[in-house]
Structure 1
Amino acid sequence: MQSIKVFASLLWALNVQAKHVWRYNMTVTSAWGEMDGHGRPKYYINGQSPGPLITVREGDEMEVFVTNSLAIETTMHWHGVYQVDHPWNDGVPGVTQFSIQPRDNYTYRWTAQNQYGSYFYHGHFGPAFADGMRGPIWIIPAESRERPYELISDSKEDLAAMKKAEENPRHIVTSDWNAEGMDILLIQYRDTGFAPWCSNSLTLNDRAQTYCHSARDIEDAGGPDRNDLGCIYKVPGYEFTNPLECEPTNPPMEVVQQQEREDWVWINFIHSGAHHELSISIDEHEFYVVAADGEFVSPQKVNQINVNLGERISILVKMDKSPKDYAIRLTSLSPQQIVQGIGLLRYHRHGGHADATNTTVPLTKPWVHLNGTLISENSKKMNETALAPFPARPPPLHSDTTLKFIVKMTGPSTWVLHSSPHQGFRQSLPPVLWNFDSRGNTTYGSPGTMHNGSVVDIIFENDQQVTAMHPFHKHNMKAFIIGMGEGGFPFDTVEEALGHEDYRKNFNFHDPPLRDGCRLNEGAGAWTVIRYQITFPAASMLHCHRIHHFGSGQQVVLLEGVESMAPVPDEVRNMVHADFIPPVSSHDQFGVFLNAELFDIQAFEPAQLFVCNIFPIMAILEAVINRSIGLTHVLLTIALLYGGVLLYRVYFSPLSKFPGPKLAAASSWYEFYYEFIYKGGSQFAFHIDELHQEYGPFVRITPWEIHVNDFRHYDSIYSFQLHHDKPEHLKWRAGQPNSVFATPDHNLHRRRRAALNPYFSKSRVASFAPYIQERLNSMCQRVQREFAGKEKVLNLGDMWGCLVADTIAHYAFHREYNWVNTAVNFQCPLLEQVDVFADIMDTVPHFPVIGMVLYYMPPWLIRIMVPALSGAMDFLNEIESNVNRIKSPDFKPLQGENQNIMYELYHSDLPDTERRQARLVSEGLGVVSAGLETSKTALERATFRILNDPAVHKRLKDELTATWPDTKDAAPELSTLEALPYLTACVEEAFRLAYGTPTRLPRVPREPLTLGDRVIPPGYMVATQALTVMHDTEVFPNPMEYIPERWMDPVTHPNLKKHLVTFGKGTRVCIGQQMAYAIMTLGIANVVRRFDLTLFETDRSDVDLVRASFKPRPKKGSLGIRALVQDVVV
């Protein structure tokens, strides 16, 4: 028995000492990214951003195989990780390795030795980390580590819950996100000296929203003149900030989800940003700081923490508040910009899951102002100088070597540590580990001067001409931050400074912080001293983590104990890189596609089917004509083939697992029946809601499409972050396949959309408001002149149509059509053409060939075959002549004409293919036609709803009269009207019941799309129709009723706004929504305030949605919304 015990003990000891190897594969790629709804190229790791979590247990080994699929070089650095036994794996090009070439790979190996906690990895070639090449690392602390939890609570339940929280940490990688790629901004900085301070947003795990600040916000936060992004323009004493125009976005926010029976939550905040030091707080929650840069510290109970660039702060949050969502606030502490990022801490009992999207900032009480200062003097801020290691660990008492670095600038955009700047080309030279002289005089130490085991002091001091703050990061060994001060450091060593009382008080040798970074504060003469012991040999980078400082020379290499370093292995020195792998050929791609899809004919869109199948059909017909096969055989073959296709669709298609009618799965004729036959047509949208009642939240409605009525998934279907395409065959629906609205491909759509976005920003539309008001004045004068008190029936839809057509046509082309004054009885000819065209276009989703034929058919032939479209052809000719005129080298714009959309698009930096005539004509027609019918419908139905409810009408008129007492005076400005609560509520409710496009606008995911426990395979369509969302009785009780008051409740308003999908969401959200709001707000205010109208032979059946096609339609035979103008109000 004794021998068995001894043998078991030996086995246990061997097991304890054995190291486990954790292996990971990483592939680095680049693609279009939309972290905050604003797209630009960015980096991905394994298709993720941030990259996947790397976990390793303390004492174990790590092996990461990195493949570079970029078109440029790269490396991967393990930020804060000790390279104890593999110094050539620190991931610094030109220091520890050659860079990884495109299509090449590199295997990193390191041991998590004598360290634990939160770290991260990021690209170290150029500014890659600032453009998304980053991800979290979690080194699981050994059980033998002493934890500081008993300093927080002596409750056994709390101690167990805190240990459980440590075992399930949440990792929040924070950053700042700029409108331009960081390489572009660095070139701008080097060329001009203008620092790239102005960020679009602050991100949590690469999720963010862009918030535009009001003048009141800016004033309250203080500081110099700023734009609505919170950026200073040009202020003496500060570096330049790019003045960008703010474009608000509201993609989903990052959610930290409490799990069931989770009383404490551990969160690692990992700041991988480029510019901004952050204040981080959680509304209404105190929390404990328990670790800094990975290692345990004496806990601090605080409301706010500071996290500088490259730092990690770990906190424990007790989940003891009311179960709901609380805002996690990132607030910049940089004086150059007022900017904030928001995430959510979600309680389990509040419902929902971590993958449930949320775009609304909760109405919880914050701890900080927009400028990062605490709101209450009783609130507690983390003291970073008091983050003492736990257990206590004093620094060495004396140093053996002192390095003093004076931070200065030798040019407008050149930074140095002491003598000279690091030169970027050196990262392509043989690494320092190969040749200690390869970095020139930016290498400090040499074999025999900084011995292994010796203690080093580094003194940082700002030159008298430097005022900036510098967050330094030291690779490999952590260092004690033993002193900080201001006013210069006129000594060569710490020992000399300790002889002066004024300096001695600035040092801490008892319990200083132990970090892998340190701060050199703002101000000329600011100084910081760190002390560390060289515990293993390495060639370690030391640099500022502000990207434009680091990228402009502020970095050095420290040769630490290199005389004790093991030789670089031959397999590393002489590494045979991977063979170049050429891209898959088009033939190979087709073969892979066929194998993956099992010849699934439904993977093609209907328009593709038409093209792909016409050739075998023609071959069969040719065989019949030549009598080489009999007609009976042909018919039998076709029947068998079609039967096989139907069988496959119903039982073997990737969508066959979704519930729904078998007929819908088998054939699109099921949809056709409801769209064109049942009850006169346009009934499929209503039938979809009936199907959900029978089959649940996911229903297969066609062979190619899934419809979802669970709003939790709406932001994933219509996403700012995921790259979904539009079905190819729908590009013909609007008759202009080259317009941004019709563009199927996500990336091409983003490029085209980006060129148009500036012209539809809120500020641009606001500057156009005076023209809208001028058109309204003309319209109202005509109504007064021709209809007031004359018992003459006014068709409100026609009246609004003229206003909208005048406004949008002028905005697009800077041409005066003056339909509000010249159209007979307000019957705008352009609107009549749009109505005719809309009827035809409703057939295109089922028969794309109709759209194709109409697009390619000569206008003269269209006039003969479809006379009703003659007016549309006239307008098209006018657009073409305008485009030709603008393109002419002799063109001289009329006053203001250089501000119209067509002119600016042609003179933009779009490639020539995007500025050709057909493209510009498509874009012009698309801009006009997209806004005409939807805005006109919303206005006429809003007017009916207001006139039809005396209480609503009276309350709105009273509010308008209080703001605009005398209509002889000029109408209030748009900003004044937008501040009226009841008018705003009337507008929001009107847009809800206007629907925009009530039917579905399907998307085609490029990758598998996970929606809860369901996965939509790539290449198939998925949608949620607006009709379903805005008739949700749980969100909008009595959804068919017009109730503006529902928008007045500040508690429910955010949820209602989230469900208002009239304009869609995601990357394809309606580009003209700001224009629509402006026209609606000004239009309703003018007509309701100026006139007393009574409805004429008009009732709910003239507005209620009974036919849902691409546009909402009332009953057949409706004469529209008609009224009598009883009087003019003064």
Structure 2
Amino acid sequence: MAAVKTTVAAGDEKKPVATSSMHRILIMVGAAAGFVVIALGLGLGLGLGLKHHTLGGSTHSSSSATPTPTTVVASDTIQPWRRNTQDYNLDMNWNNTAAPTTRVYNWTLTEIQIAPDGVERTVLAINGMFPGPVVEVNVGDRILVNLTNHMSNATTMHWHGLYQNGTNWMDGVNSITQCGIPPNTSFLYNFTIENQYGTFWYHSHTKAQYTDGLVGPLIVHSPEEDPIRELYDYDQVVLVQDWYHDLSSALMEGYLASGNENTEPTPDNGLIQGTNYFDCSSYSSDSGYTCHDNSTRAKFPVTKNKRYRLRLINAGSFAEMIFSVDNHTLSVIEADGVLVEPVTVHRIPVNIAQRYSVIIEANQTSGNYWMRCQMNQFCFSQSNPVLDSNIEALVTYDNTTTEPAHSSDWLLMLQVSCIDLDPSLLVPYYVDPAPKATVQYIVEPSFQIGAYALDRGYFNSTTWVASSTPTVNLAVAGLQAGNSSFSTTGLSRAYDSHQFVLNVGGWEVVDLLINNLDEGSHPFHLHGYTFWVMAQSSTGVFDWNTYDSLNTTNPMRRDTIMINAYGWALIRFRADNPGIWALHCHISWHIEAGLLMQVQTRDDLMKDWTIPADVLALCEA
């Protein structure tokens, strides 16, 4: 075994350093009868500057007009809470062949009063800064994150897209893989990243806390990226998110109240690299908000004829972001940690929790151009009069803060459906054939109005409510005790009535058909796995007559997929990663409304687990 070198980062700073017979199972839970029928048949540095003197954030958002140049003022003051301007500009000299090391991060979570877009509010911060620091590692590295919670409420941290093979209890999902970390308590996340690389991110997975600021990028390097690495000269993370001027807890209370159907809170703004402009005149003097008309946009300096990899991360809670750079085409090279054959597009929809890497070439006339993240308002059930859905940052050849004079949005119409980039465009760079499925399941997410006129999310007829004891704790204890209810395949009877747990049991290749019965689109994320997208449609139902002709040669793989209203997707994964893994809509409002189920895999390995004492101790605090 190779020696492991330990590199300690002070604060948040990093220092280099055999197939079974096919059968289909349709899981249906009777809403009234409460029984289960199982029947056959069935993945550039930020500069802070652009202060607008004009009111109204959309004055330059026309796709065809050439705006009159407007002088803007750059701020020389970087607030102490704002993320360092160079943090998300990755080092091109990073050694991705270095021997495995241990990278240590010490994070303190606090509540701070700041104004990312000019509107003051409470933000959940890491080491007093927003957004979170970049975690940058190599495949094979061990990560230690010593997290101290000085917030008012318990919390957890999820490492989105990481397999956590053998460390299911480090997945960071409250009530599923751990109990929350109480206030004034520390907890050590300890895991190793193996067999994956690319663009990931981290966020709180307790209630809707990440909506309030607990987000950040996580980048994993590997020599396998070297061929793609030849295509760009600079490597830059671009973190985008929708933004609210109220705490998620207050908004959630109203959203989950009786009689509120389809009333997800609509964002007040959006941020790129944690900042954006907001028009303070949108609020009246008695609105209750304190707004400073000095908010700024992000700035990305570029050098003529250089090529830039932009690692796009949608860390938002509700909005699909349609990303583009005026006058510059995008070459897509990665989706959800999977390298793809380069494909050129003008715009790319980045749905919640998804990541794409695109390359832009700075080959235009020197000057300034708009980078755009346009919220797809067709995803929203209600409008917000203060929202300018066109979120912008500045791409500048001259490192200036002058408003663009010749920047033009693409003339193509924005998409009206809340769907992914055409999956037929994405071909994995490294071929990974999909094995033949050994078992099939069908699940049907929906929203239903139940008792007390409560609108809740369901998988079949189960709406998720957080368990008082994490389901992985219950599973390990039950398997070790020989309780057969914890090892019976299909819909598990071992948990309470609010836990929809699909127990795959032993090693299988699973086909999961997700039929979206809701009138809204949903970005579904499966923890612990990268799945093959075998088939997908925005309308209709899956035609089983086409099943034997599906592309198995090299279908796209990812961990988060958008399924359109009344659409469906057939995903496939090897159920080889032991644990209990959440499958849920990543709209933060919908998770808390119950749109979450769990997949239990490899009981044969779980029964021999010993959950670490510090993880178990969180449930005793």
CA distance in 2, matches of 1:369, 1:200: 26
CA distance in 1, matches of 2:178, 2:143: 18
Contact preservation (8 Å) 1:271, 1:311: yes
Q: 1:245 to 1:42 in 2, by over 3 A?
A: closer
Identity of aligned residues (%): 23
Q: 1:570 to 1:51 in 2, by over 3 A?
A: closer
Q: Which residue among 572, 597, 604 is the counterpart of 1:531?
A: 572
Q: Which residue among 278, 293, 306 is the counterpart of 1:210?
A: 278
CA distance in 2, matches of 1:540, 1:372: 32
Aligned to 2:523: 471
SS in 2 for 1:445: strand
TM-score for both structures, normalised by structure 2: 0.73
CA distance in 1, matches of 2:323, 2:618: 46
Instruction: Show CA shifts across 1:845-895 (max 9, x none).
Output: xxxxxxxxxxxxxxxxxxxxxxxxxxxxxxxxxxxxxxxxxxxxxxxxxxx
Letter in 2 for 1:138: I
Aligned to 1:1051: none
Is 1:559 aligned to residue 575 of structure 2?
no
Aligned to 2:446: 407
Letter in 2 for 1:543: H
Higher strand share: 2
Deviation at 1:397, TM superposition (A): 2.8
Aligned to 1:130: 211
CA distance in 1, matches of 2:139, 2:185: 30
Aligned to 1:196: 264
Aligned to 2:299: 255
Q: Which residue among 502, 505, 516 is the counterpart of 1:445?
A: 502
Letter in 1 for 2:295: P
Aligned to 2:359: 316
Aligned to 1:46: 127
CA distance in 2, matches of 1:430, 1:475: 14
CA distance in 2, matches of 1:163, 1:578: 50
CA distance in 1, matches of 2:402, 2:154: 37
Contact preservation (8 Å) 1:408, 1:418: no
Deviation at 1:322, TM superposition (A): 2.2
Deviation at 1:444, TM superposition (A): 2.1
Instruction: Show CA shifts across 1:518-549 (max 9, x none).
Output: 11112x3x211111112321211110011221
Is 1:176 aligned to residue 217 of structure 2?
no
Q: 1:393 to 1:567 in 2, by over 3 A?
A: same
Deviation at 1:476, TM superposition (A): 1.0
Contact preservation (8 Å) 1:88, 1:433: no
Contact preservation (8 Å) 1:468, 1:521: yes
Deviation at 1:515, TM superposition (A): 0.6
Contact preservation (8 Å) 1:211, 1:248: no
Instruction: Show CA shifts across 1:68-118 (max 9, x none).
Output: 010100000000011013111000111111110000111111211011111
Contact preservation (8 Å) 1:251, 1:359: no
Contact preservation (8 Å) 2:447, 2:458: yes
Equivalences for 1:212-227 in 2 at 5 Å?
Answer: none
Q: 1:320 to 1:573 in 2, by over 3 A?
A: closer
Equivalences for 1:749-788 in 2 at 5 Å?
Answer: none
Contact preservation (8 Å) 2:150, 2:184: yes
Letter in 2 for 1:277: E
Equivalences for 1:270-349 in 2 at 5 Å?
Answer: 270-335=313-378, 336=380, 339-347=389-397
SS in 1 for 2:594: coil
Q: 1:126 to 1:512 in 2, by over 3 A?
A: same
Deviation at 1:332, TM superposition (A): 1.2
Contact preservation (8 Å) 2:318, 2:588: yes
Q: 1:145 to 1:428 in 2, by over 3 A?
A: closer
Is 1:351 aligned to residue 399 of structure 2?
yes
Letter in 2 for 1:445: L
Letter in 1 for 2:273: N
Q: Which residue among 450, 454, 461 is the counterpart of 1:419?
A: 461
Contact preservation (8 Å) 2:501, 2:600: yes
Deviation at 1:428, TM superposition (A): 7.2
Structure number, greater radius of gyration? 1
Letter in 2 for 1:470: H
More moved, 125-134 vs 246-255: 246-255
CA distance in 1, matches of 2:167, 2:561: 25
CA distance in 2, matches of 1:578, 1:427: 10
Q: Which residue among 526, 529, 534 is the counterpart of 1:482?
A: 534
CA distance in 2, matches of 1:406, 1:576: 31
Aligned to 2:193: 112
Letter in 1 for 2:499: T
CA distance in 1, matches of 2:289, 2:175: 39
Letter in 1 for 2:515: E
CA distance in 2, matches of 1:78, 1:11: 26
Q: 1:122 to 1:59 in 2, by over 3 A?
A: same
Higher helix share: 1
Deviation at 1:408, TM superposition (A): 3.6
CA distance in 2, matches of 1:269, 1:515: 15
Contact preservation (8 Å) 1:147, 1:296: no
Deviation at 1:402, TM superposition (A): 2.1
Deviation at 1:278, TM superposition (A): 1.1
Contact preservation (8 Å) 1:146, 1:391: no
Letter in 2 for 1:41: T
Q: How many equivalent pairs are there?
A: 496
Contact preservation (8 Å) 1:49, 1:205: no
Instruction: Show CA shifts across 1:157-191 (max 9, x none).
Output: xx3xx3543xxx21121111122222211111111
Is 1:515 aligned to residue 558 of structure 2?
yes
Structure 1: any 5+ residue segments left out of the alignment?
1-9, 150-158, 214-227, 230-242, 353-357, 375-380, 491-496, 580-1130
Instruction: Show CA shifts across 1:984-1035 (max 9, x none).
Output: xxxxxxxxxxxxxxxxxxxxxxxxxxxxxxxxxxxxxxxxxxxxxxxxxxxx
CA distance in 1, matches of 2:474, 2:305: 49
Aligned to 1:838: none
Q: Which residue among 558, 565, 581 is the counterpart of 1:540?
A: 581
Contact preservation (8 Å) 1:394, 1:510: yes
SS in 2 for 1:96: coil
Contact preservation (8 Å) 2:319, 2:352: yes
Letter in 2 for 1:72: N
Q: 1:369 to 1:458 in 2, by over 3 A?
A: same
Deviation at 1:389, TM superposition (A): 1.2
Deviation at 1:472, TM superposition (A): 0.3
Letter in 1 for 2:274: D
SS in 1 for 2:590: helix
Contact preservation (8 Å) 1:395, 1:512: yes
Q: 1:362 to 1:179 in 2, by over 3 A?
A: farther
Q: 1:31 to 1:428 in 2, by over 3 A?
A: farther
Aligned to 1:806: none
More moved, 554-563 vs 115-124: 554-563
CA distance in 2, matches of 1:115, 1:177: 30
Contact preservation (8 Å) 2:459, 2:596: yes
Deviation at 1:392, TM superposition (A): 2.2
Aligned to 1:139: 220
Deviation at 1:244, TM superposition (A): 12
Q: 1:573 to 1:111 in 2, by over 3 A?
A: closer
Contact preservation (8 Å) 1:326, 1:344: yes
CA distance in 2, matches of 1:578, 1:552: 26
Aligned to 1:389: 428
CA distance in 2, matches of 1:359, 1:439: 59
Q: 1:295 to 1:265 in 2, by over 3 A?
A: same
Aligned to 2:143: 62
Letter in 2 for 1:386: L
Is 1:102 aligned to residue 157 of structure 2?
no
Instruction: Show CA shifts across 1:894-916 (max 9, x none).
Output: xxxxxxxxxxxxxxxxxxxxxxx
